[in-house]
Amino acid sequence: MNYIDFLETNKEYITKELEIIFKKYKVQPVGNGYIDCIIKKPELGAFVEEISSLGIIIISSSWWCHVESYSQSERGGPHGLGGPRSEYYNGWFSELQNEFYDVEESLLNKLSESFDKQRIRVSNLNTLKGIEERLSITFMYTPTEYIEGNRCVVPGIWLFVPDNWVRKARK
């Protein structure tokens, strides 16, 4: 069974578990799908472990600035283009224009050929390492301005699920 067939066959269980994991780690997907799942850095490692245990492939990471208040401008922010109000924390998230961290397409193709939870886990842990390495390099906000210590930067994790998977409306 290939990866997508596995997901489609187990959609109800997987989406229910994803919602539990999102709530547990205060993950905020942007929009109504499963891409750009914004998560604070301290929860990232445990989140990746649980996503891996579920058998979901992480394909990318975008970057967001967690803006706690307008007074953050006194500390060199807010950065970014704007975005959703945080469901779990004070403030909102503002999308940064820094280059995504992406998993190589050839690896994704190999992982998609069959469902192999161990290979997915190894790939996701390598992706986590790549994201953490990228977060250790100071992000630029403009061609001449840096985000000091990447203080506000948080990743938006992109999960590889079928495009037609839409999250149920939350109250």
Query: Per-residue pLDDT tens for 147-164?
Result: 888 989 999 999 999 999
| Residue ranges of domains in the chain | 3-160
CA dist., res. 15 & res. 165, Å (int) = 9
pLDDT at 85 over 70: yes
The H or E element that residue 108 is part of is helix 105-113
Mean per-residue pLDDT for 112-134? 97
49 against 148, higher pLDDT: 49
Q: How far apart are CA 83 and CA 6, in angstroms?
A: 33
DSSP class per residue in 36-96? SEE--GGGHHHHHHHHHHHTPEEEEEEEEEEE--GGGGGGT---SS--PBPSSSSSEEEE-
Question: φ, ψ for residue 61 (rounded to 5)?
Answer: -140, 125
pLDDT at 171: 47
Burial (CB < 10 A; 0-12, 13-18, 19+), residue 77, is buried
Tokens representing 13 are 């269980």
pLDDT tier, 75 (very low <50, low <70, confident <90, very high otherwise)? very low
Q: What is the per-residue pLDDT across 93-118, written as a single tens digit (0 to 9) for each? A: 999 989 999 999 999 999 999 999 99
pTM score of the predicted model: 0.91
> At residue 25, does pLDDT exceed 60?
yes
